Amino acid sequence: MKGTWFAAVRGYVWIKLIGGNPETFLNAATAQRIGLWNIAFSKDGELTFGISVPDFFRLRPLVRQCGSKARILAKRGVPFQLARLSRRKTFAAGMLVFVSLLFLLSTFVWQVRIGGDTAIPEEQILRAAREEGLFPFQWSLRLQDSSVLARRLTARLPDASWVGVEKKGTMIVITVVDSTKPDAKSAKGPQDLVAKMDAVVTRIIAENGKPQVERHDRVRSGQVLVSGWLGDADRRKAVVSKGKVMGLVWHEMRIVSPLVREQKTLTGASKERTYWVIGSRALQIAGYGGEEYAESRTGAALYPWRLGRWMLPLGILKEREMEVLTTRDSLTAAQAKEAGLRQARTELLSRCGTDARITSENILHEQSESGKVRLTVLYEVEQSIAVERPIIQTPSE
């Protein structure tokens, strides 16, 4: 027996030998080099064995010589299956139709999917694909090569910098990469630049429009710095004035700085607790014991179980408690003052814009009382003071 599958392909039969002398039969069969396998005695004392179909026909004279009879118990293997199939024409035809139908249907495009992170509307891409002959239930043999399709789709989609077409079985994936565009500028109406607050002008650059003030001029809040009106009284035109006006502005800051500084640090020690969550209830299953922390911070994460795309009301909640250590530093008055000033400076700069610069700092008043240092500080900041104000034109009579 050269492997069961080989025998199954060629076909084999189980034989029962009735009567005669089994030993003579076996010796005769081996002498003729007839392959027998699984030779055993049945319960009735008759010899049973397996034999391949070609050998079975060579066996007949031997059986007759030994004076016994061979009875076929079972027929196995592909040739017999085929013979059985040929008797059932409709069944065979059904199998054939199924295979051919499967093959035929697999040559169609069943799905067109759009991948990539794109701002182009999906309908637009699908419409472009349809015009190139790429749509569901299209026969895929009629499709062009995917690189040609990709090139044509890129031509049809002006907002895309690259289009990839990938065929995955019966699914086509179109990947679109958007081209980056400069930000669209909103059209502006004519406008003036006016002062945001009282200041002394240090620098004025007018890109468009007519500057109304000069360096070292004192301006008040709302005063026009760069005018959008060009021309004389009767021949004039409103434009979009643009420019940069920097000025010195005074800010008075009141600072309260404590003399005792509290600092919380994580010690690194932590405990983890695990809960089973059912609905809105939680049952702790792990993380018992251990010393309690004097001070701690707790973070929790919920891992719900999912069934496909549904989230189940069951899950696991993991809670981590981290030990916190609070240290108190007492500061001298000078240190507290310095800390307060530092904080005031960052606060001021974040309030005054990115191009702001502190030019001077003047402590007006300083007082230390009930564990705090109170300061009143006058800052002089050079910052942008221009703000846009649209010109409302009344229609000429």
Q: What is the contact surface with another protein in residues (CB under 8 A)?
A: 1, 22-23, 26-27, 29-31, 33, 35-41, 47, 49
Please identify, using beta-carbon distances, which residue of 23 and 145 lies nearer to another protein.
23
CB 266 within 8 A of CB 322: yes
Work out whether strand 191-195 and strand 260-278 pair parallel, antiparallel, or are unpaired: unpaired
Closer to another protein by Cβ: residue 39 or 378? 39
Q: At closest approach, how far in Å is the CB of 141 from another protein?
A: 52
Provide the minimum distance between the beta carbon of 27 and another protein in the complex, in angstroms, as a whole number.
4
Contacts of 39 (CB under 8 A, 6+ apart): 26, 47, 48, 49
CB of 38 to another protein, least distance (A): 6
Name 177's bridge partners.
162
Rounded Cα distance between 322 and 293, Å, is 8
Q: How far is the CB of 68 from another protein (least distance, A)?
A: 14
Q: Are 140 and 169 in contact (CB under 8 A)?
A: no
Across the chain, which distance is largest between two alpha carbons, in Å? 138
User: Smaller CB distance to another protein: residue 29 or 348?
Assistant: 29
Cα(72)–Cα(257) distance, integer angstroms = 106
Residue number with CB closer to another protein (23 or 355): 23
Nearer residue to another protein within complex by CB, 30 or 161: 30
Three-state secondary structure of 114-135:
EECCCCCCHHHHHHHHHHCCCC
Tokens 């035929």, residue? 104
Give least dist CB 17 to another protein, A: 11
The least distance separating another protein from the CB of residue 39, rounded to whole angstroms, comes to 4
Question: Which SS3 state, helix, strand or coil, does residue 120 take?
Answer: coil
Closest residue by Cα to residue 119 from 164, 181, 187, 184: 181
Q: Chain centroid to CA 378: how far?
A: 51
Pick 28 or 387: Cβ nearer another protein: 28
**Cα–Cα distance, 28 to 157 (Å, whole number):** 82
Q: Between residues 26 and 317, which has the closer beta carbon with respect to another protein?
A: 26
Distance CA 66, CA 118 (A): 85
Q: Quote the least distance from Cβ 170 to another protein, whole Å.
A: 48
Locus of tokens 């040739």:
79
First to last CA, the chain: 113
Q: Which lies closer to another protein via its Cβ, residue 49 or residue 275?
A: 49
In the complex, the smallest distance separating the C-beta of residue 35 from another protein, rounded to whole angstroms, is 7
Cβ contact 12:64 at 8 Å: no
The residue among 20 and 258 lying less far from another protein, judged by its C-beta, is 20
Q: How far is the CB of 80 from another protein (least distance, A)?
A: 22
